Amino acid sequence: MIKKRIKISAVYNHFTKEIKSLRNFDSNNQTNFQNGNLTRKQIHILVEAVFFNAFREYENFIRDIFLLYCQEKTNANGDKIKSYLKPKDFFHTEKLIQSSMNMVDWNNPDTIIERSELFLKDGFPVKTPYATNKNSLSNFKLIRNHIAHNSSKSLQSFKKILRIYYGVNPLTIPSVGEYLLLSSRVNNQNYNLLDFFDLLEEMAEYLK
């Protein structure tokens, strides 16, 4: 069940704590793999699990942050947030946004940008970081979907990400875990999973 949130700082602190914990868990797994305590298949499965859990934490974070900003809670800089909603409390805010929908999507950057424009004046402070990182967030969403669904449709989307990474169609399709352990094209000290962690922390820092 969704937890009632009151402060932006509490949401931010919880999120960064969870991401740090997942970073540490992944680091320990990498050490165990290097020491021969995990097989290659096991480390791939664990990396997928770490990514999936981090993505879920990210969805929870943006949901909680967005609901609080719709209540015009101030951010860490003390900026005044203007909302077009006039909710009674945290849970009422979510009900107003959900309206007649069965569920509210918190992982699609385009949807969140559109929602920020609809409910927050100038989309502030949500729109800008999402617009800036839209491509990366969209790609990570496709990776998340392939882990969750493992369908022919999700595979086609995953292959598009692989084409971007390799520049050509790879002869052998790696698993998501294998892909997440490939060297980063953004930071040569990272592998792809660490790029994801970096992006989440960057987003959280901007949105807090």
pLDDT in tens, 182-207: 999 999 999 999 999 999 999 999 99
Q: What is the pLDDT of residue 2?
A: 65
pLDDT in tens, 85-107: 989 888 899 899 988 677 789 99
User: Has residue 1 got a pLDDT over 60?
Assistant: no
Domain contains 3 = no
- Residue 191, beta-bridge partner list: 183
Q: What is the pLDDT of residue 103?
A: 79
Domain contains 118 = yes
Domain contains 2 = no
In this structure, the dihedral spanned by the alpha carbons of residues 99, 9, 55 and 159, taken in order and rounded to 10 degrees, is 90
Give the domain range for residue 181.
8-207
Q: What is the pLDDT of residue 99?
A: 82
Domain contains 17 = yes
Check: CB of residue 191 under 8 Å from CB of residue 180: yes
If one counts every other C-beta atom within 10 angstroms of the C-beta of residue 54, the result is 23
Domain contains 53 = yes
Q: What is the pLDDT of residue 30?
A: 98
Rounded CA-CA distance 47/87 in Å is 40
- Residue 183, beta-bridge partner list: 191
Domain count, the chain: 1
Q: Among residues of the chain, what percentage have pLDDT more than 90?
A: 89
Rounded CA-CA distance 98/103 in Å is 7
Q: Which two tokens stand for residue 150?
A: 């493992």
pLDDT in tens, 129-146: 999 999 999 999 999 999
Domain contains 101 = yes
Q: What is the pLDDT of residue 102?
A: 75
Check: CB of residue 53 under 8 Å from CB of residue 32: no
Per-residue pLDDT band at 25 (split at 50, 70, 90): very high
Domain contains 203 = yes
Rounded CA-CA distance 125/63 in Å is 14
Check: CB of residue 76 under 8 Å from CB of residue 9: yes
Domain contains 45 = yes
Q: Is 104 left (phi over 0), alpha (psi -120 to 50) or beta?
A: beta
Q: What is the pLDDT of residue 100?
A: 65
